[in-house]
Homo-oligomer: A and B are copies of this chain.
């Protein structure tokens, strides 16, 4: 029994109690009817405690992180055109890109396998799914992460050489980022479906939608994506799981030029209606915009800032600005949220997709305060949206100068995840995400929130400590 005595002579007002660490204190107070604010904090893992201490004291790390986050927040990505994956991504026949960290066929989950088969059917239309599966099993097709070619892909994220891709260019660094065009809802490749209707739609995207948008951009000139995202944040999008405003603003910007540029009114109308029929169309622009912004911070030595978070449906992986191309991984989590009618948790695949690039640059779960309506997709109350954003300031290095939250008096969204701060607080990034069915071809079964595995952040810090030992002012060997 814990007795709380209040020294009235020095305390004005009711004391407010925050509890930390093990639950015993919190529970005991609760039994006495005393309100507490339990914190998320847990002690950092023992094996990296010393490294975390050194990082906290290092002026080199602090300065590197400042540089890294400034690189993210000063990017100005523009949609400049449409390319073909074979040329834009130097993607050779027989190689397939996928979301998340590297993975081989034998470890791939249902939706990723389905999407790979679908993409292979596009590239090798004279072969059957059984034949193509055999090629994957035999290792005759190569797999590589989208991130390794400057691209990002939602859900399974599979890209094959013939696919058209958005080309996004950062005005500041000149870097380019790429993403396929969003296929719409229902049975689609990115959720692992590969039926004839899925392939037919992909062929239409290649033969009609992509050239029409390309010609449209020839008339409009580059589209300033961060300006559009900043506006969408004032219109209820958090730009990962809710993209209705972004898609509407894009149509508003492209609409008339699309009709002026298209081969015919009916072709333009088909393209306009296809985009208007899919609120997530804009996600495939926010993602490569996020990619080029995050890539601007790649290679900043000594930085513990995260430049990529991505899931392949089996594993979650992250990369740090200061540790090159190395991935740090842990098991993909299971999103918690709302499942569509007719589906149960048994139908859900573990977390999948490169769309966590949005959270990496201060959007998605980090911008939930902009999107109270998101709770209709992911469950919870409006309060959850604000709380999620607020908590992310504790693991980020800065506030985004363009992504501002009207409901928080125009405070910038939290941006620049510091893996060291994540490990110190055990507070994990909040991710909004779609939930894929675990069987190939089922499609989306829901949407929800998911936390990346802490172990990936711990591995990253552990590695960072090893490679940098002795490199800083404070002697790390002590």
Say whether A199 faces chain B, with CB atoms less than 8 Å apart. Answer: no
Of A13, A245, A376, most B-chain CB atoms within 10 Å: A245
- Residues of chain B within 8 A of A276, CB atoms compared: 252-253, 255-256
Give A217-259 as 1s and 0s: 1 = Cβ < 8 Å from B's Cβ atoms.
Answer: 0000000000000010011100000001100110111011101
Contact status B248-A252, CB under 8 Å: yes
- A431 CB, nearest partner CB in chain B, Å: 20
- A153 CB, nearest partner CB in chain B, Å: 26
Instruction: Select one of B253, B256, B409 contacting A268, CB under 8 A.
Output: B256
- A424 CB, nearest partner CB in chain B, Å: 31
- Residues of chain B within 8 A of A148, CB atoms compared: none
Instruction: Select one of B235, B268, B272, B376 contacting A236, CB under 8 A.
Output: B235
- Residues of chain B within 8 A of A409, CB atoms compared: 381-383
Say whether A265 faces chain B, with CB atoms less than 8 Å apart. Answer: yes
Instruction: Select one of B253, B269, B372 contacting A406, CB under 8 A.
Output: B372
- Residues of chain B within 8 A of A244, CB atoms compared: 231, 235
Of A14, A252, A272, A276, most B-chain CB atoms within 10 Å: A252
Name A33's closest neighbour in chain B (CB-CB). Answer: B12
Docked complex Cα distance between A265 and B276 (Å): 19
Docked complex Cα distance between A382 and B407 (Å): 5
Chain A, 271-317, CB within 8 A of any chain B CB: 272-273, 276
Asked whether A260 and B269 contact (CB < 8 A) given A234-B236, A372-B407, the answer is: yes
- A97 CB, nearest partner CB in chain B, Å: 32
Say whether A108 faces chain B, with CB atoms less than 8 Å apart. Answer: no
Say whether A373 faces chain B, with CB atoms less than 8 Å apart. Answer: yes
Give A374-413 as 1s and 0s: 1 = Cβ < 8 Å from B's Cβ atoms.
Answer: 0110000111000000000000000000000011110000
The binding surface of chain A is classed by DSSP as helix
Asked whether A406 and B252 contact (CB < 8 A) given A259-B265, A268-B259, A269-B260, the answer is: no
Give A302-335 as 1s and 0s: 1 = Cβ < 8 Å from B's Cβ atoms.
Answer: 0000000000000000000000000000000000
Contact status A406-B234, CB under 8 Å: no
- Residues of chain B within 8 A of A266, CB atoms compared: 260
- Residues of chain B within 8 A of A406, CB atoms compared: 236, 372-373, 375-376, 382
Docked complex Cα distance between A395 and B381 (Å): 27
Docked complex Cα distance between A257 and B266 (Å): 10
Docked complex Cα distance between A234 and B409 (Å): 18
Docked complex Cα distance between A249 and B13 (Å): 49
Of A255, A272, A373, A381, most B-chain CB atoms within 10 Å: A255
- A241 CB, nearest partner CB in chain B, Å: 14
- Residues of chain B within 8 A of A407, CB atoms compared: 372, 382, 407
- Residues of chain B within 8 A of A13, CB atoms compared: 14
Docked complex Cα distance between A408 and B386 (Å): 12
Docked complex Cα distance between A265 and B258 (Å): 10
Docked complex Cα distance between A266 and B373 (Å): 38
Docked complex Cα distance between A434 and B201 (Å): 47
- Residues of chain B within 8 A of A273, CB atoms compared: 256
Sample of 20 further A-B pairs with CB below 8 A, known A256-B272, A382-B409 = A231-B244, A234-B236, A234-B373, A236-B406, A251-B251, A252-B252, A253-B276, A255-B272, A256-B268, A256-B276, A259-B269, A260-B265, A260-B266, A260-B269, A372-B407, A381-B409, A382-B407, A382-B408, A383-B409, A407-B407
The 10 closest A-B pairs by CB, nearest first: A372-B406, A256-B269, A373-B406, A248-B248, A372-B407, A234-B373, A235-B236, A256-B272, A235-B235, A259-B259
A-B pairs with beta carbons under 8 Å apart, 22 shown: A231-B244, A234-B236, A235-B244, A248-B248, A248-B251, A252-B252, A253-B276, A255-B276, A256-B268, A256-B272, A256-B276, A259-B259, A259-B265, A259-B268, A260-B265, A260-B266, A265-B265, A372-B406, A375-B406, A381-B409, A382-B406, A383-B409
